[in-house]
Amino acid sequence: MARILIVDDAAFMRMLLKKILTQAGHEVVGEASNGKEAVELYKKLKPDLVTMDIVMPEMDGITAVKEIMKIDPNAKIIMITAVGQEAKVMEALKSGAKGYIVKPFQAQKVIEEVNRVLSS
């Protein structure tokens, strides 16, 4: 079981991810709706893993990844991306993200990627 922070500006996506993750036995310790909140919550909660949307208001996911990696170079972050955002995913991976999930996602794919990143 991992302690996970979910970051997405869409409440529906956060709810969906939370359901998938908790049903798989993980604990969702926090939720953020933008990158700025994500960085603050990461400092406070020190989660085992973060799911991070790319396109968000105030601070996007890529900038948030860079900020979190400054705080914790070993942070485990999985990007949540829409089809057609390959360039942004590559930038996020270069910035320190450990994996990605493409929306619309299936529960099984989410769990597989979470388990892969947690065990790396």
In one-letter notation, the amino acid at residue 64 is A
Q: What is the pLDDT of residue 101?
A: 94
CA–chain centroid gap for 17, Å, is 10
Q: What is the pLDDT of residue 84?
A: 83
Residue extents of the structural domains in the chain: 3-119
Q: Are 72 and 93 spatial neighbours (Cβ–Cβ below 8 Å)?
A: no
Q: What is the pLDDT of residue 83?
A: 78
Q: What is the pLDDT of residue 56?
A: 94
Give the global pTM.
0.96
Residues of the chain scoring pLDDT < 50: none
Q: What is the pLDDT of residue 78?
A: 98
Q: What is the pLDDT of residue 88?
A: 92
Q: What is the pLDDT of residue 48?
A: 98
Q: In sequence order, which residues have a C-beta less than 8 Å from that of residue 109 and are 6 or more positions away?
A: 101
Q: Which of 20, 25, 22, 28 is nearest to 3 (CA)?
A: 28
Q: What is the pLDDT of residue 93?
A: 96
Q: At what angle do helices 35-45 and 61-71 cross, to 10 degrees?
A: 20
For the segment(s) 3-119, the CATH number from 2.40.50.840, 3.40.50.2300, 1.10.20.10, 3.90.600.10 is 3.40.50.2300
Q: Which helix (H) or strand (E) holds 27?
A: strand 27-32
What's the order of all strands across the beta sheet hosting 49-53?
Answer: 27-32, 3-7, 49-53, 77-82, 99-103
Please provide the size of the chain in residues.
Answer: 120
pLDDT tens-digit series, residues 23-53: 999 999 999 999 999 999 999 999 999 999 9
